Amino acid sequence: MECMGKRILIPFRHAKKVVAYAAAAREGGADPVTASVENKLSLEGFDGLLLMGGSDVNPARFGGTARPETDPPDDERDEVELALIQEAMERDAPIFGICRGLQILNVYHGGTLVQHLEAIARHDPEKDDHSGPAHEVAFVPKSKLAEIAGAETWQVNSRHHQAVLKLGAHLHVAARDLEDGTVEGIERHDKRFLVAVQWHPEDQTKRHPEQRRLFESFAAAL
């Protein structure tokens, strides 16, 4: 696919974990550039921002106190990603968030997070195959995610123990777990493209090609 003029930045903490995200973004038609959060990063020269999964957002950033199950804070990563989100907002550059990416977007907008889901076996199952479906999500009718999916529901994989509690300002819920109602997708309608999902489509594009539509829609908005 043609990628010229569709450069996206993917900030990462661990280099080995960014590989699948970059590959899926490339499949979708973007030109991904990965960069460590150890560096000072900017969206200068980039057309969009992809926020990947990883460790928990520091609960102090949404007025919370860390629970025993919460990861140790990575304040450097939080600060870098929040600054990049701010820069993307100012430029109205497209943003696609995945897992932690959804969570930090919600925190940026003033939202809060459930620090540890009660239905942990449902949302973070012990699976060696990260592409395998874990549960079903239902899309909110007429949402951007529903438009992208072209379906009422999808079977998705799952690898998270946190989720949206209070939704941030200007955001809309676009998908929920069909059984327990956990927020699985959010979006912002007054921006060119701001979409985030709680599952991991980067692991599903080969086995479940419909997941590629998320990356294709992101690339099309660049």
CATH number of the CATH domain containing 152: 3.40.50.880
Domain-located, residue 1: no
194/171 Cα distance (integer angstroms): 9
Q: Buried b vs exposed e over 19-44: b needs ≥16 C-beta within 10 Å?
A: ebbbebbbbbbbbbebbebeeebebe
Domain-located, residue 2: no
Catalytic residue at 3? no
Query: Among residues 38, 81, 99, 116, which one is catalytic?
Result: 99
- Token representation of residue 36: 């460590």
Q: Look up the domain containing 100 and give its range.
A: 7-221
Query: Among residues 81, 184, 187, 202, which one is catalytic?
Result: 202
Catalytic residue at 99? yes
Q: Which helix (H) or strand (E) holds 163?
A: strand 163-164
Query: What tens-digit pLDDT sequence spans the chain (222 residues)?
Result: 445 579 999 999 999 999 999 999 999 999 999 999 999 999 999 999 999 999 999 999 999 999 999 999 999 999 999 999 999 999 999 999 999 999 999 999 999 999 999 999 999 998 888 999 999 999 999 999 999 999 999 999 999 999 999 999 999 999 999 999 999 999 999 999 999 999 999 999 999 999 999 999 999 999
- The number of folded domains in the chain is 1
pLDDT at 127: 83
24/192 Cα distance (integer angstroms): 21
Query: Among residues 123, 135, 160, 200, which one is catalytic?
Result: 200
Catalytic residue at 200? yes
- Token representation of residue 161: 């123990």
- Token representation of residue 165: 């509690």
Domain-located, residue 89: yes
pLDDT at 3: 52
Domain-located, residue 48: yes
